Amino acid sequence: MLTHVEKQLCESAITVRKNAYAPYSKFKVGVAILDELKNIHLGVNVENAAYPQGTCAEAGAISSMIASGGKKIKLIAISGSGSELCTPCGGCRQKIREFSALKTPVLICDEEMFQKRFILEALLPASFGPDNLF
Task: Given the residues 6, 36, 58, 121, select the one marked as catalytic.
Answer: 58
CA-nearest of 58, 79, 130, 65 to 101 is 130
Cβ neighbours for 122, distance < 8 A, ≥ 6 positions apart: none
Establish whether 111 is a catalytic residue.
no
C-beta separation of 71 from 100 below 8 A: no
Active site residues: 58
